[in-house]
Structure 1
Amino acid sequence: MSNDGRMQSWEDRTEIPLTLVSLLFLASYAVRVLDPGLSPQWQDFWLAVTLASWACFAVDYAVLFILSGQGLRFIKHHGLDTLVLVLPLLRPLRMVRVFNAVQKRRAEPTLTVQARVILYASLTAVLLGFAASLAVYQSERGAPGATIRTFGDAVWWCCSTLSTVGYGDVAPVTARGRVVAAGLMACGLALLGAVAGSFSSWLVQAFTREDEKVPPE
């Protein structure tokens, strides 16, 4: 079996388990951020869960690195995997792999593929928005002059930013918060573009099929 075949086989076997691990990572991080009154024992427990989840990502990355046989070129060709390893909160971005499948099947577009793009992009937006809200809330809640003081404020800010509306009533003031905001803006544009493009393509195909059903006069 070729290197690409081995990598694909590994990814097929690990995609669902790693997705569950990513949700566990997000849950453990959320508990530590949203409940600062946890006892030291529980704080240590959820921190261990977070680190164990990240270790799973590291193992996955190492296996793919070895199976690829590309050496350091793997880092260049798999930038998303590298980014997710460094910043595990971006794990939802792995779902954009479905866009690659769309590109490969562009010659034979189907409604099923387009529906998957919309589904995965929407799910990615929700998970990414939740992760960004947690990161911004953790950074901003105790900062001097901060307008994001509750998790509700963070969620509201995230919704307005991810949707590219940007009311400006609340905004991050810390350097870390602004870095998260910049990344969220870029992701918001990309995800909205993917969903809008796929939905438009679906409408065009639907109307085209209806026109084909109408008998010529």
Structure 2
Amino acid sequence: MKSRSNRGTFESYARRSEPLLLAAAVLFCVVYAWPIIDLELRPGLRDLCFLTQWVIWGVFLLDYLFRLYLAPQRAAFVKANLFDLAIILLPMFRPLRLLRVLVLLRYLGKEAEANLQGQVAWYAVSSAFMVVFIGALAELSAEQQVPGAVIVDFPTALWWAITTVTTVGYGDTYPVSLEGRIVAVMLMLYGIGLLGTVTGMLASWLVEKVDAADALRDSFRDEEIAEDSRQSIAKLEAEISALRADLAELVALSGGRVGGVADPSGVEGSGSVENSPKN
């Protein structure tokens, strides 16, 4: 009974906390991107952005610990939420701090689970756009202060992120720092997975369309067979009705003849003379 109560409390808290975590992730994305894109941001606002990042990281930490406390099976919870744990445990490595924003992906994933066929495409597209944006920010953060760097402004970083995640790799822009190359590897791996997901979605869509066409053709064939069966049954019923009419007529005719032969009063009558054979 206690386990069921904990599970209910855990699920209730998870449902209520998702919108708050989503808002926190969006806010984190804003306060992370602002100092990176605007290099002339006032020191006070820059410090406020950094402070807000740590406050939001603390919110994620408290959320994780509270969900761990409410989880009916804590070991299973840890195994099922390794990504969340990585977001909490990797705050000191500057590019990976942006992984906290990927709580948005977790939220979108939960929405997709509610209606898998209708939401998977939206989930894939929205997550792709968000990862490209996040990758561009992370790369710009890692590269913009490095001597000899090519990626020093956000448009260039965004172009690099798009060419990297699509596995095109023109080579006109590239990271030179270790942190930037780590971000590049993460985007490459995500791009490979994204291409596999898109290919699988297209294959599934084609199979679904083929199955629907086969089902429609089978339904038409079944309707034709049913119509032929109805016509055959109607013909059989008409033939049976005709046979019954013929049989009734034969029975009537046969009954009249038998009555004439068996009637003794008609031996000397005209009917008997007319029906007698001639010598």
Q: If the TM-score is normalised by the length of the shorter chain, which range does it land in?
A: 0.7 to 0.9
Name the residue aligned to 2:98.
89
Which of 144, 154, 162 is the matching residue for 2:157? 154
Which of 40, 44, 50 is the matching residue for 2:43? 40
Query: Measured at CA, do residues 12 and 146 of structure 1 come closer, stay the same or move farther in structure 2, by a change above 3 Å?
Result: same
Query: Measured at CA, do residues 202 and 17 of structure 1 come closer, stay the same or move farther in structure 2, by a change above 3 Å?
Result: farther
How far the C-alpha of 1:193 sits from its partner, in A, is 2.0
Q: Secondary structure at the match of 1:55?
A: helix
2-side partners of 1:72 and 1:113: how far apart? Answer: 28
Which of 16, 21, 24 is the matching residue for 1:13? 16
How far the C-alpha of 1:158 sits from its partner, in A, is 0.4
1-side partners of 2:76 and 2:44: how far apart? Answer: 42
Which of 174, 177, 187 is the matching residue for 2:177? 174
Q: Secondary structure at the match of 2:26?
A: helix
2-side partners of 1:164 and 1:95: how far apart? Answer: 26
1:132 is aligned to 2:141: no
How far the C-alpha of 1:100 sits from its partner, in A, is 8.9
Any gaps of 5 or more consecutive residues in structure 2? 91-95, 225-279
2-side partners of 1:68 and 1:148: how far apart? Answer: 44
How far the C-alpha of 1:96 sits from its partner, in A, is 6.8
For the Cα contact (< 8 Å) 2:112–2:119, is it kept in 1? no
Comparing 57-66 with 197-206, greater Cα deviation is found at 197-206
Amino acid corresponding to residue 78 of structure 1 in structure 2: N
2-side partners of 1:98 and 1:163: how far apart? Answer: 25
- Bigger RCO of structures 1 and 2 (CA < 8 A, at least 6 apart): 1
Amino acid corresponding to residue 125 of structure 2 in structure 1: S
Comparing 5-14 with 19-28, greater Cα deviation is found at 5-14
Name the residue aligned to 1:106.
none
Amino acid corresponding to residue 106 of structure 2 in structure 1: R
Higher-helix-fraction structure: 2
Amino acid corresponding to residue 136 of structure 2 in structure 1: S
The one-character-per-residue Cα deviations of 1:43-95 (angstroms, maximum 9, x if unpaired) are 12222222222222112111111112544664333111112323452224425
Name the residue aligned to 2:26.
23
Q: Secondary structure at the match of 2:150?
A: coil
Larger Rg: 2
How far the C-alpha of 1:207 sits from its partner, in A, is 3.0
2-side partners of 1:135 and 1:199: how far apart? Answer: 31
Which of 185, 190, 193 is the matching residue for 2:196? 193
Any gaps of 5 or more consecutive residues in structure 1? 103-111
1:141 is aligned to 2:144: yes
Q: Secondary structure at the match of 1:147?
A: coil
How far the C-alpha of 1:196 sits from its partner, in A, is 2.7
2-side partners of 1:169 and 1:142: how far apart? Answer: 19
TM-score normalized by structure 1? 0.84
Corresponding residue pairs, total? 208
Amino acid corresponding to residue 44 of structure 1 in structure 2: D
Q: Secondary structure at the match of 2:126?
A: helix
The one-character-per-residue Cα deviations of 1:133-190 (angstroms, maximum 9, x if unpaired) are 1111111122122221221111111001111212222111101111111111112222
Query: Measured at CA, do residues 4 and 69 of structure 1 come closer, stay the same or move farther in structure 2, by a change above 3 Å?
Result: closer
Query: Measured at CA, do residues 72 and 208 of structure 1 come closer, stay the same or move farther in structure 2, by a change above 3 Å?
Result: closer
